[in-house]
Each structure stands twice: as structure tokens, then as C-alpha cells.
Structure 1
Amino acid sequence: MKIPQDFVLGVATAAYQIEGTRFGDVGPSHWDSFAAQGGTIGRQNGDVACAHYEKWLEDLDLIAHGNFDAYRFSVAWPRIQRDGREAPRAEGLDFYDQLVDGALARGIEPHCTLYHWDLPQALADKGGWENQDTAKYFADYCAHVSDRLGDRLASVATVNEPWCVAWLSHFLGHHAPGKRDLSAAAKAMHNILYAHGLGAAALRDLGRKDIGIVLNMEYAAPATDREADRHAAAIFDGIYNRWFIEALTKGAYPSDILEHLEPHMPVGWQDQMQTIAQPLDWMGLNYYTRSIHADDGTGIFPFGQTQIGPLPKTSMGWEVYPEGLQYFLERMHRDYTGNLPLYVTENGMALHDKVADGGVDDAQRVGYFRDHLAAALAARDAGVPLKGYFAWSLLDNFEWAFGYSERFGLVHVDYDTQTRTPKESFRFFQNLR
């Protein structure tokens, strides 16, 4: 496989999943509360995670050893402001300051995500993403981080995966805060985008460039050719994919979804669409899988139920469908983003890896990466302005509601000893150039 020289190859992580909230002066987040309430396997949490807060030098050396051009990391909001509103804390900013400098010293581009789901608990107590005040506090937080780090960052993403922040967490209940309420979800679906808009404006006011957002997308296939199943798949596509990208690029929500969510939306939401749809410098795509949808027979929004498909699967049961990555890159370029630069900001595979004879043979993951990289480069060859690809993830880590049961890393982590062991998938990327 030939990788173009001007194509960025990177690796990605997220703060709560690797840093360890036991280390440093970090405030509680709603993920701590969600885990304590039984929202994760065995009530596992991010207290220690991968102890990256202490082992960041070793982890940067791993990235450099893997021949990666770039590192996509996130900043923990509660590490900067324990309650989401106070003056920024020097200790938290100092940690990310040294992380950015350490990356640059190794020839690694630092790409920063400002929100990867660790909402300060004090803001969650006041309604979290159902409360528009959270969006305003988020803009202040963005300015604090940018004021300290912005001059050295290759890019800044405001929010990672707004669908997960809103729908997965407020309607499906799988992530913090674990709600299953359409009204809560509708408010969060809008407010997280409003937070992006306010945050991006705050960054722009500070003179920052290379501002973007990261969307996750999932290919929705109908279970049969029946009209009801095709409708169920289209509604899923609308909630998961079209809601966010149409707001960001067209300044409007898709009508087939809005008719169900509008009665629950915040008052005056229409006046905030211009803020949401302000120009960006790039957009990121996180892609993992496809899903199969059938009408559930209830006649109640969102109408569908997910079925198990026939394709090979990851250990989490996600179908391996690299064609979907090329599809979304071409769809984004054609229908929404035009010549806006795109990045694949996450792509990876969960397996139940084990260390044997001093290494980890994850040939299935190597094949996953090879096929998805080929799909991404095919989209680039077809004219998509794709600038780079970030593998998820550098390290095995706290996999949210799945706790430590699922492993996405290119590097195996022994959670008892914090020993890092590169896998064959790490060698794959190491030898791409």
C-alpha cells in the first residue's frame, strides 16, 4: 500500500479514556457519576485508565516510534475547570502545555479535541446538555484552552461525535448521563451543536485557524426492500448522519427528523442556526461500521429496530464494512462540504487481544486497517479533499460503557502493571512509510 507523502497518518486518544482522573487536580465528570451508578461494566471507571497523566512521555515516544505524523488528543474539561465555570487551573493547562511541546519536539503534529464527553459534574447537575448555559460555559472553556495552547496546535476540534453526546446518551441511555427521554435528546441534539458554534466563534475571535468538528457516521442499510424497512433506515440515517452535517453545512435540520424533535427543541433555536453553520476550516469523520434496520411495527418515532447483519464482526459485534468509509467521504464531499478539507479522525476495531510470546498477533485488525485505508485513499483518488487518517486508538483504554473489556489499541495495555506492548497492527503502521 502506497501512502501519499502529503497525507497525514496519525493516531488518536481521548482524555477520560487514558489519563486517569486519580492523577492531578481534576474535577468530577458525569462519566464518574454514570459509572458509579452502574452505567459501565462492573462499575469500571476512568480513575486510573492507562495512567497517561504520568506516562505521557512514554506514550509520545510510542507515537514517534510508530512513525506517525500526528497525534489527536483531547483536553479534559474538568482538568481545566473543575466545575466548568471557574478560572482555568494552571496545573491542568500545564499538563497539556508540556504534552503539546513534547509532541512537537518529536516531530508530531498536535491535533486537539476540546470536548470528548467528560462534562463537569457541576454542569451536569444544572441540566448538562439540556441547558443552553452549558453551551455558553463551553465557549469560555474553549477560549481558555486556546489562549494557552492555540499557537502550537495543528488543528482544533470543538466537539467529538455530537450524536453520541446527544442521542446515544439522552435517548438510548448507553452513555452518560444515561437518559432515555425524547425531549432531553432533542434539546441535547441542538444544544451540542450550539456549543460547537459558540466555541468556534470564541476560537475565531482569538485569531485561531484550523477550526473544525468531528462527526461520527454509520451506514444504515434496510433489512429488506420493503418500504417500511427503507423508511426505518432513512430515519436512522437522518438522526445519526444528516441531522448534524445538514445543520453545520446548510443551516437547517432535515425535515423528516425535525417534525418529531421540534416540539421539544429549546425556545429560539431557529435564531441560533447561523451560529451553528458558521464556516469551518476542516471536518472530521469517525467511521467504524454499518447497521441493518427494520421497521419495528410500532408506528412510533424512530420506527426502527436494528438487526444482526451477515458480515464479519468485531468483538463488539460491529460489522466490518470498509465500503461505508468511502461512501461517506464521497457523500460528504458531494452533498455537503464541497472543497472543505476532510480527515478520517477515527477508525478502528475492537478485539479481545492477549499478549503471547512477548507480542500481540492481531492480524484481523491489520486487515481491517488495510481495507479501510484503501477505501479512504480510493475516495481521495476520486477527488475527495481528504488530508489524513487517524487510527483509533494508540492504546487499549477505558471503552466507556464497556469498561476495560474491549480493546481498540495498537498498543496492548496491561491494566495491572501499565506495561505497554505494541501489537502487529502497530508494526503495520510503523512500516507504511
Structure 2
Amino acid sequence: MKINVPKTSQLLDNEFIFGVATAAFQIEGGAESRLPCIWDEFCEQPGRIKDGSNGLVACDHMNRWQDDIELIASLNVDAYRFSVAWGRVINADGSVNQAGMDFYGGLLDALNAKGIKAFVTLYHWDLPCYLQQQGGWLNRSIVDKFRDYADKVSKAFGDRVYSYATLNEPFCSAYLGYEAGIHAPGVQDRQAGRQVAHHLLLAHGAAMQVLQQNCPTALNGIVVNVSPCYAASDTEADKKAAQMADCYHNQWYIQPLLDGRYPDLLQQLPDAERPVIEEGDMALIAQPLDYLGINYYTRTVFAATPQGWFRDVKPTVPPLTEMGWEIYPQGLTEILLSLHQRYRLPPVYITENGAAMPDECLHGQVDDPRRVAYFEQHLLAVHAAIEQGVQIGGYFAWSLMDNFEWAEGYLKRFGIVYVDYQTQQRTLKTSGLALQHLFAQKKAHALNPSS
């Protein structure tokens, strides 16, 4: 199977970057050589992870990273996006764990040797437990600790990194971790969620200052997840609910970054639920960005509540992914255009996009035509956004391989590479082969644009 994009599309230009993405806790394993993190503790709590699993071994990437680099290179990618485990490189006393730094250094050297650009995420949800015991993201002192972490990592990695992201999806850390309570650390408290969101954005701003000083030639930015918010009906109440949800889930993170202020919805929260904001905070958050990373999976639908708030409406009409998410590629174009019209955007990278499907490995093959269709539809959505003026520099498929899918454990498979968790055997799926062909087509087109 092939993924078809227009031959004239900027997706095939030499400057456009195609890549695959992973995250440390989801693939690395090697728990014995890092400090425990909040997800280790979360996994130990009964009922938190649907299959009762954990990330102690995951995809055993710590022991198989060299083979995994060969696998990545075989896909014809331009770039590989991965995250650093904070507790693998920094000790509890703040000193550097040199063995952990050396692991990532070897990874960077191998990528550079193959001409693959390294996109490094500093924080992908795995806060060390010793910091959580000090209050974690609820304690404002975490801002200084994150700045120091970013400083030590960026100095150690040097010019081997093409791009840094300070945070991945602060919405998930704040809302899912501290309001909904379905991610680590499992707190359910609106004020805590809003305060954590503020501290995350402050930490981003502080880290950006360090990155721009230490790595001025790298692309330095942040990754946010977005979902266009739709009304469940044509009633004014539901339309207002969808607008409020957009402010609360999307703009709450983007507007401070680009405009230096929170949405007006902040004023509608009771005083007891608002974050504490100190003088100078918003200026620190709104550091100039070299790029904005956008993660997109689906749209969201909202209805009004009797209290004048909003509630999400779960999709029931196919096509849905294994996560129960509606497949809605036009939503990617719509959210990109709406952000383009609302803000002065820096260059945008689609840093995650993908789908969980019911994959089976039969006779050494994994046929996943629905995922192939998903990628094609969403790449065409990116193409449509570019055609309408959005500056998009790259696209990363989520994910390189099946992995620990957070609260879902190992029940959901997002990878373009199938992982047998008993043997750790990797098998390239049909979607992986289709992307491999597309990425090769892009490289060939760069050499001969008229082909």
C-alpha cells in the first residue's frame, strides 16, 4: 500500500522534515539505571493502569537502541523525535548522572552519523519522584529546577541536537494529571490543575532562556496538543460550551505563549480555582519561539451543563480508532488555520499524529490499512493547511513503535512497528512500509523535482 500526496506538494520539498517520534518512559525500560518517576508510582497503584502493567522494561530500548537506530534509518526519515528521562541524567542532589548522559550522547552520535536530525524533548511527563515529594509541579521552585536541568542537558548535548522542545503537551500534565486524575500523579483538583499549568509554562519560559543562550543555532520551542472544539448541537448554549472548552483546553496553553496572557475565561473561574500569578510571570512565559510543535489526533465535541460549563460528548459513530477517538482529518486543517488567523505563529511542526488500531502479527506480517489511510488523510490535511498559508516545517508520525500507552498500558498499539512484548521482536507494519516509501519518494523528489 502507498500513501499518496500531490507531486507538487511542499510535503515533498527538500526543506520539509519527515520523522518518527517516541518518548522515554514509553520505550526505554532500563528502570534500574534511572531514578523512579511519578509514572512508576502511578503504575504501582491498583486500578490506575488498565492492564496492570508498568514501564520497567517497556520496549527495552535501553538495551536495543543501536538496532532501533538502524530501524529508524531504514525508514528514510529526516528526523527522530525522542525525550530525555530527567531521572536518568540528573541525580537527586542535582548533579549529573554521567552514565545517563552518555546513553543519550551515544544515541545522538549515532543519529548524526546517519544524517538524522535529533529533535529532543526535555519533559514528556516523567517527573522524578524526589521532585514530586517536594511538591512537584505544584511547587513554584520546580521552575528553577527545570531551568537547571535544561542547562545541564543542553550543555552536555551541545550542537548534536537539531531541535529542543521544553515540554510535551503541558495540557496532559496539568489537566489529565491534576484535574481529571487519569494520569500521574492522579490528582483531581481544578485549582491544582490550573496552578500546575502555570508552573509548567513558567518552566518552559525559563528553559527557553537557557536554550537560546546555550544552543542559539538549534530550533527551540514547545509542543502542545490541540483539538478543535465543536458544539454538540446548534443551540446557543452548546456553541458557548464549545468556545469555553476551546479556551480551557487549547488557548489556555497557546495564548500565554504567543500573546503573553491567559484567555478571558480565567476571570470566570472562582477565585479559589485560579492560579497564583506573580508579576513578570507572563513575560517569562512568552519567550520568542523558534517553532511551535502541534500534536493532533482527533476533534472534540462539547455540550453545555446546567451549571453553565461544558462537558465532552464521546463519539459513537465510526470511523473510530481503538482509543475510541473519531477519525477527523479535516479538524487538523481547521485548527491550524484558526491558529494561523488568530496569532502570529512561528513555524509549525506537526510533532505527533497517529492512530491506535487493533493490530495482529500473522505469519510475520502486520497489515494495518486503516492506519495507512489515517496517515494519508492527515498528510493531505497538512498539505491543505500549507496551501492556505500556514508555515509548516515538518511532520512526525506517532509512533515509531508500539509502546507503553500510559493509563492504557500495553493494550493500545500506535506504532508503525509492531512490538512483541514477550520477545521484543520488531516487525514493520504495512503503515511503516507505506511511510518508508513516501519518505524515500520525498528524498528522490528533492534530487529530481521534475520526477
Instruction: State whether TM-score is above 0.5.
Output: yes
Instruction: Give deviations 1:291-320, integer Å, cap 9, x for gaps.
Output: 221123234xx4324232534100110000
Q: Quote the residue 1:27 is aligned against.
A: 35
Aligned to 1:357: 363
1:251–1:4 Cα change, 3 Å: same
Q: Indicate how the Cα distance of structure 1 residues 379 and 268 shifts in structure 2: closer, same or farther if over 3 A, else same.
A: closer
Match of 1:331 in 2: 338
Match of 1:376 in 2: 382
- Correspondences of 1:311-350 after superposition (within 5 Å): 311-338=318-345, 340-350=346-356
The residue aligned with 1:277 is 286
Letter in 2 for 1:310: V
Query: Which of 73, 93, 98 is equivalent to 1:90?
Result: 98
Deviations 1:382-433, CA, capped at 9 Å, x for gaps: 2211010000000000000000000000000000100000000001111111
1:133-144 residue pairs with structure 2 within 5 A?
A: 133-144=141-152
The separation in 2 between residues aligned to 1:184 and 1:292, in whole angstroms, is: 25
CA displacement 1:216-270 (0-9 Å, x = unmatched): 0012111101111112211211111111110000000001134317644454434
Which runs of no fewer than 5 residues in structure 1 stay unpaired? none
Contact 1:40 1:401 in 2 (8 A): yes
Residue type at the aligned position of 1:227: E
Is contact 2:358-2:413 (8 Å) kept? yes
Tell me the distance in 2 between the aligned counterparts of 1:385 and 1:261. 38
Any conservation in 2 of the 1:292–1:309 contact (CA below 8 Å)? no
The residue aligned with 1:69 is 78
Q: Distance in 2 between matches of 1:203 and 1:354?
A: 42
1:416 counterpart residue number: 422
Cα separation, partners in 2 of 1:251 and 1:328, compared to 1, 3 Å: same
Separation in 2, partners of 1:124, 1:242: 27
CA RMSD between the two structures? 1.4
**2-structure distance, mates of 1:261, 1:58:** 53
2:235 is equivalent to residue 226 of structure 1: yes
Tell me the equivalent position of 2:445: none
Could you tell me how far apart the structure 2 residues matched to 1:267 and 1:223 are?
33
Q: What corresponds to 2:400 in structure 1?
A: 394
Equivalent residue of 2:141, what SS? helix
Indicate how the Cα distance of structure 1 residues 261 and 349 shifts in structure 2: closer, same or farther if over 3 A, else same.
farther
SS of residue paired to 1:337: coil
Corresponding residue of 1:239: 248
Is the contact between residue 291 and residue 309 of structure 1 (CA under 8 Å) also seen in structure 2? no
For each residue in 1:176-195, what CA deviation from the matched residue of structure 2 results, as whole angstroms up to 9, or x when unmatched?
A: 01111011111111111001
Identity in percent: 45
Q: Write out aligned runs for 1:153-302 (5 A).
A: 153-208=161-216, 209-260=218-269, 263-299=272-308, 302=309
**CA deviation after TM superposition for structure 1 residue 103, in Å:** 0.7
1:211 aligned partner, one-letter code:
N
Q: 1:310 aligns with which of 317, 322, 326?
A: 317
Residues 19 and 77, structure 2, Cα contact 8 Å, conserved in 1 = yes
2:113 to 99, 105, 122: 105
| Equivalent residue letter for 1:416 | Q
- Equivalent residue letter for 1:380: I
Aligned length: 428
Q: 1:82, 1:120 within 8 Å by CA — same for their partners in 2?
A: no
Structure 2, unmatched stretches of 5+, are: 442-451
User: For 1:127-156, what per-residue CA distance to the aligned partner results, in whole angstroms no more than 9, with x for missing partners?
Assistant: 111111112101100011100113111100
TM-score between both structures, scaled by the size of structure 1 = 0.96
Opposite residue 43 of structure 1, the aligned amino acid is G
Q: Which amino acid aligns with 1:276?
A: I
Q: Distance in 2 between matches of 1:194 and 1:129?
A: 10
Q: Distance in 2 between the 1:320 and 1:29 partners?
A: 33
TM-aligned CA distance change 1:262 to 1:15, over 3 Å:
farther
Note if 1:152 corresponds to 2:160. yes
Give distance in 2, aligned partners of 1:258 and 1:217: 22
Specify whether residues 261 and 298 from structure 1 end up closer, same or farther in structure 2 by C-alpha distance, changes over 3 A only.
closer
Deviation at 1:42, TM superposition (A): 3.2
Supply the distance in 2 between the matched residues of 1:262 and 1:152 (Cα, whole angstroms): 46
TM-score scaled by structure 2?
Answer: 0.92
